[in-house]
Structure 1
Amino acid sequence: MAIRELKRICFGRMGLILLRHLLCLIFYATPVLGKTYSQNIDPISLRVFSQLFVPGEFHIKGVIDDRTDRSPVAFLVASLSSGSQLETVDLEGGAISALQKYIFGALPRDQRLRPVVIRIRDMKIIEVLADARRGLVEGEVYLDFSFELDRGDELIHLLDFQGGVSYKRGVRQFSVIEPVLRKSINNSLTYFNDWMERESTEDIKLAREVKINIRDYREDNRDDTVFYNPQRPLTWKDFTGRPRFNNFAASIFASISYEGNSWIEEGEVIVDLVFKTYMLKSSSWVRGTNNSYGLNHEQRHFDIAKIIVERLKEKVETLDLQPHNYDRKVSFHYLEAYREMNELQERYDRETAHGMNSRAQESWDTWIDEELAAFGVR
């Protein structure tokens, strides 16, 4: 297949999508591509004539080379006699170094603004000799950039740019190439700037601060669930499950959970966290009739779950939460709290012998009451 036909396929209707997949095929079909660095064409020197614009929401912190193909960026027609034997030409000083130098020169860098890193996934210029009789060369510039917010501990993906520019030149008019590449780069920067100005107060990833609202879920008992309320202690009527085949007189299913909802207000993330301490009636049971002593033992399991929730709420209030990590951090500490609850429940049953050791039960009752009082629950 001729390189002209391959180019038509690469930059036709599905051009930008197929280019990266077909580029290797082009190299295979014409082994002379990329064989040596050009000795006839000077490296492409990106020039800064003036500032492109003044960003109001970000500054470019740096450029990352994430290209799978680190060969020179340009494959150019050197002369009429070379035909389809393209010369490889790089940017002056190396592709990434030259690109970063250009961007730093074209855009002011106000480091009080959000730091953004540009990840270069691909950057190519491909030419073909379109008309040997007239000495006409056709070329395409293709860029694949990813813009990422630098949060210090990680890079947060914001936006991808995939685009390019077509051009024509005379076989000796190498000066046409640099302005075309510069225009493509400028298009990517302008595209990102427009997106930032539009989304700076709307996209949660761009928010500068997080405000946490914490509250308990307290609803009237509904169906199978009893939510913790210090004014509403448990009764044996809450234990509706079928007794298990074991030696225990009663058992309670007490647990914790939380729900989170978030939104943006003037560039700030508002997070509403609702913590739940609850028991399930159908999973809690009592065998026959039981007394107040046994009910107190089960109530203390419920109280322990509430203590864990209060500890979790206290921990969350002290966290340094950022827009990109608040959900992950809250989830982590919730899982830690859940593990702590299970360990404490097992210790309580073990030390009280599931309520059979009255002296240990009395000691736990005192500790639980003190903990609840410290949190203002009782």
Structure 2
Amino acid sequence: MTIYMLVAGLVFVLIPVFAFPFSQNIDPISLRVYSQVFVPKEFHIKGVIDDRTDRSPVAFLVRNISSGSQLEIVDLEGGAIPAVENYVFGALPRDQNLRPVKIRIRDLKIIEELADARSGLVEGEVYLDFSFELERGDELVHLLDFQGGVSYKRGVRQVSVIEPVLRKSINNSLKYFNDWIEKESTEDIKLARDVKVKIRDYREDHQDDTVFYNPQRPLSWKDFTGRPRFGNYAASIFASIAYEGNSWIEEGEVIVDIVFKTFMLKSSSWVKGTNNSYGLNHEQRHFDIAKIVMERLKEKVEKLDLQPHNYDRKVSFHYLDAFREMNQMQEQYDRETAHGMNAKAQARWDKFIDEELSGFGVK
């Protein structure tokens, strides 16, 4: 989310021309904390990150009338990033029981020009480009961008105007972020504190091309409707796994509803002529293997330490790992049973598969 804001703060000081024979050096700008800006209830600032492409001093200021367009380059006292960090730490209480937030500074500039040499009028702009990011472990989660600043006018000798204008700009960004996070603290998934996972199997039978695994509904040869392929095999089954996830927020907690699907596709599964129960059992065991792998995946997901910002990535990672495991197990099964032709090996696999399914409470 990106916010663009421009706040105009106008300071008019008109000074006669004869008041400007003198030249001055401009000292580094010292950001001062006079009082706390507000008390955050949802976050504390953990630190400031320098992400500027231009890390030169931040201010380009009019020194005197005779300098004209030649601006003096001035930095914040102690350096831009340390100065901003020290200011923010002083301006806001830091309750470390609240969410840790870091400010990423992409741009920070003060640029002036001599608007009227006769009156010594200087016009200036403060530019801010801040990003607010939530710290979660070793990761930073992007929350909000703020791009804005303040316009001002001053007399050429009134450099003291600059610091409060800069301070006002920084305060504007902090207040805007505070308003946003207070509003979104129970609505934005990135701000949720906990994740609750609900896991269930999809078993509905719509009498279409897909058969979802159900221990009460074993396969039959009628489920193999695909066109037979050339080769030495009498039958083949397309069995696989998938999942769907849906999430929502309830009182600041992410509720994740995950539906796991173990299925076979009729049109991609085939049999040559009429086959026997032994051959059907071999194909059923391919389906069972997919179910075993899915049950293992469900166990892993139930034990995961999921966070609101990465739960989907973690579940997806383990799903892909399970998919590879399923393919390897299917290949091993066919290799050791010689595609069902080795009866002794088939019997060993039948026993292993039944024990696995029984352990998961499937049979």
Give runs of ≥4 in structure 1 deviating > 6 Å: none
2:66 aligned counterpart, secondary structure:
coil
Q: How does 1:112-127 map to 2 (within 5 A)?
A: 112-127=97-112
User: What is the TM-score when the length of structure 1 is the normalising length?
Assistant: 0.90
Partner of 1:252: 237
**What is the aligned-residue identity percentage?**
84
2:267 aligned counterpart, secondary structure:
coil
| Correspondence 1:67 to 2:52 | yes
2:268 aligned counterpart, secondary structure:
coil
* Alignment: residue pair count: 344
One-letter amino acid of the structure 2 residue matched with residue 70 of structure 1? R
One-letter amino acid of the structure 1 residue matched with residue 87 of structure 2? Y
Partner of 2:159: 174
| Correspondence 1:326 to 2:311 | yes
Q: Determine the C-alpha separation between the residues in 1 that align with 2:236 and 2:211.
A: 15
One-letter amino acid of the structure 2 residue matched with residue 48 of structure 1? V
One-letter amino acid of the structure 1 residue matched with residue 189 of structure 2? I
Q: Deviations over 1:198-229 (max 9, x none)?
A: 10011000111110000000102431000000
Q: Deviations over 1:240-291 (max 9, x none)?
A: 0000001100000000000000000011000000000000000000000110
Q: How does 1:218-367 map to 2 (within 5 A)?
A: 218-367=203-352
Alignment partner of 1:202 out of 176, 187, 192: 187
Consecutive unaligned residues in structure 2, runs of 5 or more: 7-22
Query: For the structure 1 residues 15 and 372, does the alpha-carbon distance in structure 2 shift closer, same or farther, using more than 3 Å as the test?
Result: closer
User: What is the TM-score when the length of structure 2 is the normalising length?
Assistant: 0.93
- Considering only aligned residues, what root-mean-square deviation do their CA atoms show, in Å? 1.3
The structural deviation recorded for 1:83 is 1.0
The structural deviation recorded for 1:311 is 0.2
The structural deviation recorded for 1:368 is 0.4
Q: Contact 2:5–2:149 (CA<8 Å) still a contact in 1? A: no
| Correspondence 1:186 to 2:171 | yes
Q: Deviations over 1:159-190 (max 9, x none)?
A: 00000100000000011000000000000000
Q: Determine the C-alpha separation between the residues in 2 that align with 1:69 and 1:342.
A: 51
One-letter amino acid of the structure 2 residue matched with residue 360 of structure 1? A
One-letter amino acid of the structure 1 residue matched with residue 223 of structure 2? D
Q: Contact 1:138–1:169 (CA<8 Å) still a contact in 2? A: yes
Partner of 1:106: 91
Q: Determine the C-alpha separation between the residues in 1 that align with 2:134 and 2:209.
A: 46
The structural deviation recorded for 1:310 is 0.2
Q: Determine the C-alpha separation between the residues in 1 that align with 2:361 and 2:208.
A: 28
2:197 aligned counterpart, secondary structure:
strand
Q: Determine the C-alpha separation between the residues in 1 that align with 2:55 and 2:353.
A: 65
Q: Determine the C-alpha separation between the residues in 2 that align with 1:298 and 1:101.
A: 69
Q: Contact 1:221–1:227 (CA<8 Å) still a contact in 2? A: no
2:301 aligned counterpart, secondary structure:
helix
Q: How does 1:18-167 map to 2 (within 5 A)?
A: 40-167=25-152
Partner of 1:7: none
The structural deviation recorded for 1:340 is 0.3
Q: Deviations over 1:101-137 (max 9, x none)?
A: 0000000000000000000000000000000000100
1:141 aligned counterpart, secondary structure:
strand
Structure with greater strand share of residues: 2
The structural deviation recorded for 1:142 is 0.5
Q: Contact 2:286–2:330 (CA<8 Å) still a contact in 1? A: yes
Partner of 1:10: none
Q: Deviations over 1:306-360 (max 9, x none)?
A: 0000000000011111011110000000000000000000000000000000011
The structural deviation recorded for 1:15 is 11
Q: Determine the C-alpha separation between the residues in 2 that align with 1:134 and 1:39.
A: 17
Q: Determine the C-alpha separation between the residues in 1 that align with 2:58 and 2:224.
A: 73
Consecutive unaligned residues in structure 1, runs of 5 or more: 1-13, 17-37
2:150 aligned counterpart, secondary structure:
strand
Q: Determine the C-alpha separation between the residues in 1 that align with 2:362 and 2:98.
A: 44
1:323 aligned counterpart, secondary structure:
coil
One-letter amino acid of the structure 2 residue matched with residue 118 of structure 1? I
One-letter amino acid of the structure 1 residue matched with residue 114 of structure 2? L
Q: Determine the C-alpha separation between the residues in 2 that align with 1:15 and 1:198.
A: 19
The structural deviation recorded for 1:39 is 7.9
One-letter amino acid of the structure 1 residue matched with residue 32 of structure 2? R
Q: Determine the C-alpha separation between the residues in 2 that align with 1:190 and 1:225.
A: 54
Q: Determine the C-alpha separation between the residues in 1 that align with 2:346 and 2:298.
A: 27
